[in-house]
Amino acid sequence: MNDQVPIKIAILDDYGDIARKVADWGTISNQPDVSVFHDHLSDQEALVERLKPFDVICIMRERTPITRALIERLPNLKLIASTGPRNAAIDLEAARERSIDVVHTGYDSAPTIELTWALILALARNIWLESASVRAGGWQTNVGLDLKGKTLGLLGLGNIGSRVAEIAKAFGMNVVAWSQNLTADQAAEHGATLVSKQALFEQSDLISIHVILSDRTKGLVGAQELELMKPTALLVNTSRGPIIDESALIKVLQEKKIGGAALDVFEQEPLPAEHAFRKLGNVLATPHIGYCSESLYKTFYRDSVSNIDNWISRLRG
């Protein structure tokens, strides 16, 4: 690499104009040329044209998938700086084949846990509907659901699910859980009862999803599972959209076979303008903000600055 030519860095999908506010990109060695993009490009051709000049792309989680097709059309790309400890949207094999380095950052699950409970409470007590009524000049329109004594079903009881369970116990809820490798002893350690997948959907008053998206969890919640839910039951997803069969969920929501859903994640993000989830009255939708907290963004971008600086230092020898 020519020491006289500044390294070009692209920061992608910085929706809230946060990257420069929480991290000092000027501390990176050799004064690189840093460009920040606040919009999201879904069109592949437009994305290729935007990214062609850059040596480094800094990506926010899975907002822009770094696929083989994209990598093979970026001749200058030498480093992918991803936020978070892993990123399933990066084709790591394609990156290795082209000797492109991939680095990751620290992470804290607390913001997602907090948003999960914000969505649970907002959905159970119809907070978003009542707020809309007040803003429109109205007043009370609904009666909310009590959490005390209700059953929370957790699909996944790992790092996030287990802490969601702890908070549920503080509300006086019964907690049941299921995942493919969960044992009764593991569930009991977190105050939950292991049940079958079928029983979880049949028994729960509220179901929250906390499994990692993988080949075996994609479509894990389909029409069969949704049909088992109580007509008053609520569904919350702060994990990943494809874990739920989206068309099946839309169907049961349209037919009002369940009480409602709070969704922070979707199959396609950003959510298309005419998508059903933007219009259904029994859906509380948020724009994948589970990890969008000030402290975590500081971790993401400050670690990215450090990662890029270390990478440049290694290159310069």
pLDDT digits (tens), the chain, 317 positions: 556 789 999 999 999 999 999 999 999 999 999 999 999 999 999 999 999 999 999 999 999 999 999 999 999 999 999 999 999 899 999 999 999 999 999 999 999 999 999 999 999 999 999 999 999 999 999 999 999 999 999 999 999 999 999 999 999 999 999 999 999 999 999 999 999 999 999 999 999 999 999 999 999 999 999 999 999 999 999 999 999 999 999 999 999 999 999 999 999 999 999 999 999 999 999 999 999 999 999 999 999 999 999 999 998 87
What DSSP character marks residue 102?
A: E
Amino acid identity at 26:
G
What DSSP character marks residue 10?
A: E
Kindly state which CATH superfamily the domain 110-285 is placed in. NAD(P)-binding Rossmann-like Domain (3.40.50.720)
> Which amino acids are annotated catalytic?
240, 269, 288
List the one residue out of 33, 26, 27, 52 whose CA is nearest residue 41: 52
Paired tokens of 125: 């007590």
- Pairwise CA distance, residues 15 & 46, whole Å: 18
Count of CA atoms in the C-beta half-sphere (13 A) of 136: 10
Kindly state which CATH superfamily the domain 8-107+293-316 is placed in. NAD(P)-binding Rossmann-like Domain (3.40.50.720)
Paired tokens of 231: 């007509």
The structure tokens 């979707």 sit at: 266
217 near 243, Cβ under 8 Å?
yes
Which residues make up the CATH 3.40.50.720 domain(s) of the chain?
8-107+293-316, 110-285
- Pairwise CA distance, residues 137 & 36, whole Å: 40
CA-CA-CA-CA torsion sign (246, 252, 256, 262): negative
Q: Please give the model's pTM, rounded to 2 decimal places.
A: 0.94
Which H or E run includes 101? strand 101-103
